[in-house]
Structure 1
Amino acid sequence: MAQHRIALTEPLPAELAGELAQRIYFLSESIVDFTLPGGDGELTEVVLRTDGPGSPGDAADLAAKVNRMADEEVRPQRAGPPKIVWTSPHSGEVHDVAGELLGSGELVHMGPGQFALGPAVTALMEYFDRRLTGMVAAEFGARQYRYPTLIATETMRRCGYFSSFPHFLMLVTRLHADADNYRGFLADVEASDGGLPGLLDYCGDTSHCLPPTMCYHTYRHLQDQPLPSPGLVITARGKSFRHESRYWRSLERLWDFTIREIVFLGGREEVLDQRRRMLELTTAFAAELGLGGHCEVGNDPFFGSVESPQRAWSQRLLELKYELRLPIGPEKTLAAASFNFHDDFFGRSFGIRPHDGGPGPVITGCAGIGLERFTYAFLCRHGADPAGWPQDVRIETDPRARLG
């Protein structure tokens, strides 16, 4: 392992340390760890640790990548505290329970960014989803759909995902359909004693991806047609996938996770009001569960473009995104839900038209609740032992509690 001390071309304000930190691992597969030494309110260098012995050429390449990213994507960011739109009335001791969950078998590490959930955690997550689904059915008359896991690459392109979040993209491929290709593949597998060397040499299809969120399926579902009613609310639950590189950690940041999504389609004021109401319902539910935290104006983690800082600033300025942040430890929160307004972007991109045949695309918004994250925040507040959970939650998640 090699260590590289990389001087920044110009100091960065300490307030931008988080923006820098969330991009480091995406600069090179060789980076295995990093620190951001700071002092006097600013950052002047980045310390990277990489696989292998390292070389002057490696150091120069890494320095160029770090400084280009810092100069183009981080330095132009406008630092400052986020606007808070809701604060929980609750506070209390919160501690990270990942170790306890792993020790009890309620959390099983299956690979980078992948965990299996045990019976108690699964029951808890299912309870939260039932409550959320009931809310959106009662409040909005939401229609519930179950979408495929795979999503077309063309759909992702129309959503603008490639130009916004290339670092999260997870493609699906398959062996090219050709008899000679299959024979060559089988011969290589046999020769390598069951290994998979050069696997991608036999693959040639990238027509599908793993979905990074559920709402993209809804836009594809409704593309090139008018809405079936003046306004429409659709909800879906499904597995979502984002390549979080080395940032994965327990249930707070996964490569493979579950989202309960609610999509609002219709007129501008209607969609904005529905987004506001969904935020109110979700924060009230968090407060009912005794969770601390707050809801703040946020932005998406745009990456890889000189336009990223301006796009992030526009989101915050126009309050296009709110994030519900729940505590999982002292001075540490995670975004467990987001509430988004897209204006006419997806309506235009997918040709979704008003019900009455009027001109112009429909307006859309959505809310997404990360079920593993929401569940994890609850466990960090109330503990890994169901005996410490609120009684109504225990009754709904443990059949034995109903008999007690």
Structure 2
Amino acid sequence: MDMQTSLLDRLFASGLLIETGVDGLYGRSGKFEDVIAAFERLIETFGGDDGAEAIRFPPGMNRAHFEGSGYMKSFPQLAGTVHSFCGCELDHMNLLQCMAEGEDWTKDQQATDIVLTPAACYPLYPTIAKRGPLPAGGGLFDLQSYCFRHEPSKDPARMQLFRMREYVRMGTPAEVQDFRQLWMERGQKLIETVGLPVHVDVANDPFFGRAGKMLANNQRDQNLKFELLIPVTSTANPTACLSFNYHQDHFGSTWGLKTADGGTAHTACVGFGLERIALALFAHHGLDTNDWPAPVRKALWGA
């Protein structure tokens, strides 16, 4: 039995995760949720005084905004769309007959105006662009959302539906790069506070296809993405639990985001994979939070 399956089976057996019959789609117990809530409070002790505007989007986003973001050019293999029945009574009868006969009843479903959110920050950029130019000093935003990526796996750290907490900075290149550097330092201290091993390395997104290899190489060569890696199901291939991303002017140009002086805004973000961090805590400290080291419990729950 490999480490991924072993950890997943133990999480199921303990009731921390709840099996649904679909790889990467799990229920969470109250104890699992308590760890995530505690960790989010810890995040806020590091970033809560920065004055970020809190915004919470649902796990679905405007399909037109999704298409405008360019996501499908780079990550079509990860995208998820929302389809619904839009037919008449006869179509409904045909649908029910297909289901009764074990045939594909989804073939006549039609795409809606909603797609599943791929990253917590994607709905933010068109929203802020509609407000007009950023104020002097730029903008800072606090986001949290369920996100979807179609990559079914037995690795519990690679869920298809998961939560991402993000701080997003908009402004001049210097402002957003200073923000990213600040959070690269904060992120390491934060993870050390809960007794987990820390390693930060340059990374790239999973761009699709042959052209994607060039994009990935460019991203790495320009140090646009760093990840904080923690062993969860493998010591040889640790899991990215935090990411620190500098988008340059990509979203600024895409959505017309402007700085106070009329320039194209640059953006950067720090993203926390909340389920992954919880899994790292369980993997390293055990499945019973009452037995976790006292300093870790104090950091998370104050006792």
**What is the one-letter code of the residue matched to 2:8?**
A
Residue number in structure 1 paired with 2:250: 345
* Superposed displacement of residue 270, structure 1: 0.9
Instruction: Give the drift of 1:96.
Output: 6.2
Deviation, 1:396, is 7.5
Say if 2:272 is the partner of 1:362: no
Write the distance in 1 (CA, Å) between the matches of 2:215 and 2:188: 27
Deviation at 1:193, TM superposition (A): 6.4
Alignment match, 1:114: 25
Counterparts in 2 of 1:348 and 1:381: CA distance versus 1, 3 Å: same
Provide the secondary structure at the position in 1 that maps to 2:123: helix
**Quick check: 1:324 aligned with 2:228?**
yes
User: In the alignment, which residue of structure 2 is the partner of 1:104?
Assistant: 14
- 1:255 equivalent to 2:165? Answer no
- Please name the residue that 2:41 is paired with: 130
Structure 1 or 2, whichever has the larger Rg, is 1
1:203 to 79, 89, 109: 109
Q: Give 2:24's aligned amino acid.
A: G
In structure 1, C-alpha distance between the alignment counterparts of 2:99 and 2:164, rounded to whole Å: 39
Equivalent of residue 383 in structure 1, options 274, 286, 302: 286
Contact 1:142–1:235 (8 Å) recurs in 2: yes
For residue 353 of structure 1, give the secondary structure of its aligned residue in structure 2.
Answer: coil
Q: Is the 8 A contact 2:83 2:111 kept in 1?
A: yes
- Separation of aligned partners in 2, 1:239 and 1:342: 21
Cα 1:193–1:201 change in 2 (3 A) is closer
Task: Call closer, same or farther: CA 1:362–1:190 in 2, change over 3 Å.
Answer: closer
Q: Any residues of structure 2 matched to 1:226-241 within 5 Å, and which?
A: 226-241=133-148
Structure 1 window deviating more from structure 2 (333-342 vs 306-315): it is 306-315
Q: Distance in 1 between matches of 2:97 and 2:248?
A: 55
Task: State the SS of the aligned residue for 2:267.
Answer: strand
Aligned match of 1:182 in 71, 74, 88?
88
| 2:219 equivalent to 1:315 | yes
Q: CA deviation at 1:189?
A: 4.4
List runs of 5+ in structure 1 lacking aligned partners.
1-94
Contact 1:175 1:182 in 2 (8 A): no
Residues 4-403 of structure 1 correspond to what in structure 2 (within 5 A)? 97-110=7-20, 111-138=22-49, 140-176=50-86, 181-192=87-98, 197-224=103-130, 225-245=132-152, 248-304=153-209, 306-328=210-232, 329-355=234-260, 358-391=261-294, 393-394=296-297
Contact 2:54 2:142 in 1 (8 A): yes
Question: Following TM superposition, by how much is the alpha carbon of 1:188 offset from its aligned partner in structure 2, in angstroms?
Answer: 2.5
Residue 300 of structure 1 deviates from its aligned partner by 0.5
- How many angstroms does 1:207 deviate by? 2.6
Q: How many residues align?
A: 296
For 2:204 and 2:99, how far apart are their aligned partners in 1? 48
| C-alpha spacing 1:310/1:378, structure 2 compared with 1 (3 Å) | same
d(CA) in 2 for partners of 1:294 and 1:269? 25
Please give the alpha-carbon distance, in whole angstroms, between the structure 2 residues aligned to 1:189 and 1:156.
29
Aligned mates of 1:396, 1:291 — CA distance in 2: 12
- Of residues 187-196 and 144-153 in structure 1, the stretch that sits farther from structure 2 once superposed is 187-196
CA distance in 2, matches of 1:214, 1:264: 13
Distance 2:78 2:15 in 1: 29
Gaps (5+ residues) in structure 2? Answer: none
Deviation sequence 1:42-66 (CA, Å, 0-9, x none): xxxxxxxxxxxxxxxxxxxxxxxxx
CA distance in structure 2 between the aligned counterparts of 1:184 and 1:223, rounded to whole angstroms: 44
Counterparts of 2:103 and 2:44, CA distance in 1: 45
Which residue of the partner structure matches residue 89 of structure 1? none
1:223 positional shift: 2.2
Aligned residues: CA RMSD: 2.3
**Normalization by structure 2: what TM-score?**
0.90
Q: Secondary structure at the match of 2:165?
A: strand
3-state SS in 2 of match to 1:368: strand
Q: Distance in 2 between matches of 1:142 and 1:265?
A: 11
d(CA) in 1 for partners of 2:19 and 2:195? 28
Q: TM-score, normalised by structure 1?
A: 0.68
* SS of the residue 2:231 aligns to: strand
Partner Cα distance (1:397, 1:281) in 2: 16
CA shift, 1:184, in A, is 2.1
Q: What does residue 60 of structure 1 align with?
A: none
Q: How far apart in 2 are the matches of 1:195 and 1:107?
A: 33
**Structure 2 Cα separation of the partners of residues 195 and 263 of structure 1:** 49
What amino acid does structure 2 have at the position aligned with 1:384? Answer: L
Secondary structure at 2:110's aligned position in 1? coil
Distance across 2 between alignment mates of 1:202 and 1:144: 39
Deviations 1:256-278 (A, max 9, x none): 00000111001111110111111
